[in-house]
Amino acid sequence: MKHFLKETDFKPREVAEVFELAREFKRKRGRHDPVLARQTWALIFAKASTRTRVSFEVGIHELGGHAIFLNKNDIHLGRSESLADTARVLSRFVHGLVVRTYAQSDVEELARYGSIPVINALTDLLHPCQIYTDAFTAAERWTGPRGSLLASLRGRKIAFLGDTRFNMANSWILGAALFGMKIVLAGPKGYEPGAQINTLLSAEGFTGVHQFTTDPYEAVAGADIVYTDVWASMGQEETAQQRILQMRPYAVTAKLFAAAKPDALFMHCLPAHPGEEVEQAVLDSPRSIVFDQAENRLHVQKAIVATLARQLQA
């Protein structure tokens, strides 16, 4: 059974196909085949969500399927029922799981014990649906209607600023390796990418993918994309004040953004905290594509779901 727990669960040829399918779903919104007809997918969320939840629910509906949203507190998972049994039981009812939680090992366990595809909708380690969408969104800008989306990413540079030791930074490191991009991360000392992502990179055969610097200007020099995320992610609320003080030099100000390539794009997974990790003027600038990123979650995730669902019909 194929799952989507990390960026590299699709090989480059499959990534190219997912992107082209997303482009087709976007072009034919409301007019494409109901590839999930008579299927039900469950969404299990242990953290808050606006974009991911809504885009998956709408996307599954648009593909002709039905989505059930399960807040983790509403089901037995984690209290009186194990991940393994939850996976085995849900596999008897539904055709796929979309899971947002803390530990990457939890999504791996659900995938191991279930017999249906599992999609990682964000863990503390990775946010692969977001990274595929981000890459697709930048590629849309860099290609015409028929050029290869994946090929347009090769050799591009992304600068990732701020919290360089959590899911978005990790996922972009793995994504950059997969898409053939360069990535330079700039954050405070002590926020170098951690052992878990380095182990994953080695296991996938990637070496020397990322550079880390404490100098934000060094990171953005020559960058095609300037990317940031909130400084305190879900679950890190207690250290928010300390993080604000440490990460302030890495705020994407108009001045810092101007030090990237003249046609660089500003990207953010959202939700944003204007005045913290990004200045309002940068968020609102014509080179900010944050709302295209948000919209494209729908099209790209539909392509991921449809690709995984094919194996159920085979």
Respond yes or no: is residue 280 known to be catalytic: no
* Interface residue with ligand CP, options 269, 272, 303, 309 (CB under 6 A): 269
Q: Residue 54, interface with ligand NVA (CB under 6 A)? A: no
Nearer to ligand NVA, 129 or 209 (CB): 129
Minimal distance in Å, beta carbon 262 to ligand CP? 27
* Interface residue with ligand NVA, options 168, 226, 278, 304 (CB under 6 A): 168
Catalytic residue among 23, 297, 299, 301: 297
Catalytic residue among 3, 23, 51, 130: 130
Say which entry of ligand NVA, ligand CP, none residue 229 contacts (CB below 5 to 8 A, set by partner kind).
ligand NVA
Respond yes or no: is residue 27 known to be catalytic: no
Judged by CB under 6 A, which stretch of 10-18, 48-56, 191-199, 298-306 contacts ligand CP?
Answer: 48-56
Closest to 99 measured CA to CA, from 75, 83, 122, 76: 122
Nearer to ligand CP, 35 or 46 (CB): 46
Question: Which of the residues 124 through 143 are near ligand CP (CB under 6 A)?
Answer: 130
Encoded one letter per residue, x for contact with ligand CP by CB under 6 A and - for no contact, window 76-115 reads ----------------------------------------
Nearer to ligand CP, 68 or 270 (CB): 270
- Residues annotated as catalytic (active site), given as ranges: 100, 127, 130, 229, 269, 297
Applying CB under 6 A, the residues found at the interface with ligand CP are 49-52, 122, 130, 269-270
Applying CB under 6 A, the residues found at the interface with ligand NVA are 166-168, 229-230, 233-234, 269
